[in-house]
Chains A and B, each alone.
Chain A
Amino acid sequence: MSIYLPIAELSANMAVLLAMGAAVGFISGMFGVGGGFLITPLLIFYNIPPAVAVATGANQVVASSFSGSLVHLKRKTIDFKLGAMLLLGGFAGSLGGVFVFAKLRELGQLDLIVSLLYVVFLGTVGGLMLWESLGAIIRTKQGAPANLRRPGQHNWIHKLPMKMRFRASKLFVSVIPVLGLGAFIGFLASIMGVGGGFIMVPAMIYLLKVPTNVVIGTSLFQIMFVAAFTTIVHAMTNQTVDVVLAFLLMIGSVIGAQYGAKVGQRLRGEQLRALLAGLVLLVCLRLGIDLFLHPANIYSIAAVGGA
């Protein structure tokens, strides 16, 4: 059954969109990520204009991160103060991102930059995660104890001024890297249509040394606001949020997430991470290959001053 998407201005198959949402929801439920990094490339593969895919992806992230935040709110695993500081940076970054997004679109380089950013970030994060998780799997096979975290070890980030105490995270750290990280994620969120969880989570663990139990909750909490803000700013400046498309994806992902979470509970942590890493690298590869292959048509057209 086909449905007309009013902002993307084309007819799409409703079943395909629901399935797409369900698949991404399944993965996000299984791994505890927003799934924005999958939905935007999938939409682009499905011939949705990249500008619409990015803005609509941000809208879909609001649904999945809100749903996730509710769980963590109940478990009290959100550091609100840390979240608020990240958010402050996030808003600034998102605003800048949307501005750059509009400029790139005008120059005709948006698709390229979006693809490049995806390839770089998915490649880096996927590669690191695969390396780490395979190492962990090998170590457990050899019977060695699991990797011990040494929270006492400080890095250069902990030597910066303007320190602030985050009680829930048991952290005393400069506010500069927190704002900076927030801004960086906000910027990526608005250009890539992602929540940025796949960058935020490792950055919080490895750079800021936030305890793992509050990382996911806090990251989801702040991503929800950044994605909401990004959606609204995109709606105001680029008018590329397709609410019909977003709604179909949300429905699919809400259903898919239930089953994903069940499967996720049965797998071990490092196996889960290795699988996610493999998936991330696959998406990266697919996008990367497109950049180097001879395009089917080297010409493209764009309406001036419209989607």
Chain B
Amino acid sequence: MAGGLTRAVRTVLAGLALLAASLGAEAQVQTGGRETIQIGLSTDKIGITSGFSGTDLTIFGAIENSDPQVSRTGRYDVIVVLEGPTRPVTVRRKDRIFGLWINRDSEHFDSVPSSYSISTTRPIQDITTETSYRQLALGSGNLAFNIGSSENPQIAEFATALRGIKEQTGLYTERIGGVRFLSQNLFRAAVAIPANVPVGTHRARAFLFRNGIFVDEVSAPLVIVKSGFEAAIYTSAKTQGLTYGVLSVMLAMLTGWLGRLLFRKD
């Protein structure tokens, strides 16, 4: 993957350099044109193999039509988010019943991003306002499952707990300073992909802010799959339950028999 990565980076960088050069000339002519943001992922597919223990995804991007005045004073901010596929989740709360801790109340959330990694140029509160974050549904506290629940205190409490567990297990992460400008309009972002990342189609999104005002957004898909041996096992377990079960039993018998052979030697 390393070779593919450098190659991808080089392609992206070359493309961006050309882009930047042509746009730079253009920007001087029509100043005040609306800025846009572009991104390229270092890879569009990540395979999880037996040695997988998490990785970083590098995202390269550029600001087009950038105002040199603004970029020189560092008033452009970029937030990059990698959002996992949404899944329905049940949150349960334990209560003490006769001294035992037993699951009692539960709340159901229909679409919870299975993972959510956010990378920013600066501390989150310094980039833009709370209201603006909420409007953009940006940040783990502003995801749809939180918002819809604000009237009911119990649902809100469960939503907070859900977020807490996701953060604890490394699925929701925040990386301040994870986005760095390489030049006035080129930037590089690193977002964390944890070891327990769920498989499926993830979405990388980049948000551009100018002086704290949201300007543009762009997104690109990233597919995460189990690959090789793991993929075969996972797929057969999910689709060929009977065969998988029979093979598991046969493997167990074979191991037991081999153990017997070893044992007899003594």
A interface with B by C-beta (< 8 Å): 2-4, 6-7, 9-11, 59-60, 62-67, 70-71, 108-109, 111-112, 228, 231-237, 239, 241, 243-244, 246-247, 250-251, 253-255, 257-258, 261-262, 291-295, 297-306
Q: Which residue of B lies closest to A60 (CB)?
A: B252
Residues of A near B49 (CB, < 8 A) are 4
Within 8 A of A (CB), among B134-164: 158, 161-162, 164
Residues of A near B247 (CB, < 8 A) are 243
- Interface-centre pick from B87, B89, B237 (highest chain A CB count, 10 A): B237
Which of these, B92, B158, B226, contacts A302 with CB under 8 Å?
A: B92
The 6 closest A-B pairs by CB, nearest first: A235-B245, A254-B259, A232-B245, A67-B256, A66-B256, A62-B252
Question: If the complex has contacts A246-B252, A300-B92, are A7 and B102 also in contact, measured as CB distance less than 8 A?
Answer: no
Residues of B near A291 (CB, < 8 A) are 100-101
> B50 within 8 Å of A by Cβ?
yes
Question: Do residues B91 and A299 form an inter-chain contact, with CB atoms below 8 A?
Answer: yes
- A257 → B minimal CB distance (Å): 7
Which of these, B53, B233, B260, contacts A7 with CB under 8 Å?
A: B233
B interface with A by C-beta (< 8 Å): 48-53, 87-95, 99-103, 106, 108, 158, 161-162, 164-166, 168, 195-196, 198, 226, 230-231, 233-234, 237-238, 241-242, 244-249, 251-253, 255-260, 262-263, 266
Question: Do residues A304 and B255 form an inter-chain contact, with CB atoms below 8 A?
Answer: no
Residues of B near A254 (CB, < 8 A) are 255-256, 258-259, 262
Residues of B near A302 (CB, < 8 A) are 89-90, 92
- A294 → B minimal CB distance (Å): 7
Question: Do residues B103 and A236 form an inter-chain contact, with CB atoms below 8 A?
Answer: no
Q: Which residue of B lies closest to A107 (CB)?
A: B103
Residues of B near A109 (CB, < 8 A) are 102-103
Given pairs A71-B260, A250-B252, A299-B158, 12 additional interface contacts (CB within 8 A): A4-B52, A6-B233, A65-B256, A66-B252, A66-B257, A228-B252, A233-B245, A243-B233, A291-B100, A301-B166, A302-B89, A303-B90
Residues of A near B260 (CB, < 8 A) are 67, 70-71
The contact sample of 11 A-B pairs, CB cut-off 8 A, is A7-B234, A231-B245, A235-B248, A246-B251, A258-B263, A292-B101, A299-B161, A299-B164, A300-B165, A303-B87, A303-B90
Question: If the complex has contacts A234-B245, A250-B252, are A298 and B93 also in contact, measured as CB distance less than 8 A?
Answer: yes
Which of these, B89, B196, B246, contacts A301 with CB under 8 Å?
A: B89
Q: Which residue of A lies closest to B100 (CB)?
A: A291
Question: If the complex has contacts A235-B244, A236-B242, are A66 and B253 also in contact, measured as CB distance less than 8 A?
Answer: yes
Question: Do residues A243 and B248 form an inter-chain contact, with CB atoms below 8 A?
Answer: yes
Q: Once bound together, how far apart are the Cα atoms of A297 and B169, in whole Å?
A: 12
Residues of A near B251 (CB, < 8 A) are 243, 246-247, 250
Residues of A near B166 (CB, < 8 A) are 301
Count A-B contacts at CB 8 Å: 184
Question: Do residues A299 and B162 form an inter-chain contact, with CB atoms below 8 A?
Answer: yes
- A231 → B minimal CB distance (Å): 5
Question: Do residues B230 and A4 form an inter-chain contact, with CB atoms below 8 A?
Answer: yes
Residues of A near B88 (CB, < 8 A) are 303-305
Which of these, A6, A62, A239, A305, contacts B256 with CB under 8 Å?
A: A62
Which of these, B92, B230, B244, contacts A108 with CB under 8 Å?
A: B92
Question: Do residues A301 and B256 form an inter-chain contact, with CB atoms below 8 A?
Answer: no
Q: Once bound together, how far apart are the Cα atoms of A294 and B100, in whole Å?
A: 9
- B199 → A minimal CB distance (Å): 9
Question: If the complex has contacts A70-B257, A258-B266, A304-B88, are A241 and B237 also in contact, measured as CB distance less than 8 A?
Answer: yes
Residues of A near B162 (CB, < 8 A) are 299, 301
- Interface-centre pick from A255, A257, A298 (highest chain B CB count, 10 A): A298
Residues of A near B53 (CB, < 8 A) are 2, 11
- Interface-centre pick from B49, B258, B263 (highest chain A CB count, 10 A): B263
Question: Do residues B256 and A70 form an inter-chain contact, with CB atoms below 8 A?
Answer: yes
Q: Which residue of A lies closest to B231 (CB)?
A: A6
Q: Once bound together, how far apart are the Cα atoms of A111 and B100, in whole Å?
A: 13
Residues of A near B50 (CB, < 8 A) are 3-4, 244
Residues of A near B48 (CB, < 8 A) are 4
Which of these, A63, A67, A241, A305, contacts B245 with CB under 8 Å?
A: A241
Question: Do residues A258 and B91 form an inter-chain contact, with CB atoms below 8 A?
Answer: no
